[in-house]
Amino acid sequence: MKCPYCGYLESKVVDSRPADEWASIRRRRECLSCHKRFTTYETVESLPLMVVKKDGSRQSFDRGKVMSGLIRACEKRPVSYQTLEGLVAEIEQVLQNQIDREISSSQIGELVLERLKTMDEVAYVRFASVYREFKDINSFMAELDQLMKHK
């Protein structure tokens, strides 16, 4: 690891501990030349996820899009930003753990709905109305009836 102070290529690890809830490792290093200490983070390199849209086009997974959809659905609801961050991280982890690197957008939408249903019912209905593209009040009522049956 190259020292950020003097550029020397050799260093020793002084301390190592998990970071970001075991998603990475934080290492304190000491340069063998100038003896200054610096921190590095080691993470697993993950393969990119590709999202297959309804029209068949493909684009890389963007957690920001999932987050913005959740923020809109949870607007003026008692759901904290940290809760939404955790939900997006959980969904991303589920997707990363799949063997297939191509995921349909509908699969992502269903994962979001599944978690919103138990978290906040109003946010669930808001997200479902956009995701499922309700055409009229009858389709909206059908979704509400399904929600009431699960209670």
Report pLDDT for 125: 86
Same domain, 60 and 133: yes
- Would residue 81 count as lying in a domain? yes
Same domain, 102 and 57: yes
**Contacts for 4 with CB less than 8 Å, ≥ 6 apart:** 38
Report pLDDT for 79: 92
Same domain, 84 and 24: no
Q: Average pLDDT for consecutive 10-residue bins of the chain (151 residues)?
A: 95 93 90 96 83 93 93 92 92 88 92 90 86 74 76 67
Same domain, 35 and 68: no
User: Which has the closest alpha carbon to 69: 117, 108, 121?
Assistant: 108
Report pLDDT for 143: 75
Report pLDDT for 151: 67
- pTM higher than 0.75: no
Total domains, the chain: 2
Distance CA 100, CA 139 (A): 32
List the structure tokens of 102.
């191509």
User: Which has the closest alpha carbon to 61: 24, 99, 88, 23?
Assistant: 88
- Would residue 31 count as lying in a domain? yes
**Sign of the alpha-carbon torsion through 79, 82, 86, 88:** positive
- Domain range holding 32? 11-43
Same domain, 81 and 127: yes
- Would residue 122 count as lying in a domain? yes
Same domain, 61 and 19: no
One-letter amino acid for residue 83 of the chain: T
Report pLDDT for 47: 76
Same domain, 107 and 38: no
- Would residue 5 count as lying in a domain? no
- Would residue 73 count as lying in a domain? yes
- Would residue 22 count as lying in a domain? yes
- Would residue 6 count as lying in a domain? no
- Would residue 129 count as lying in a domain? yes
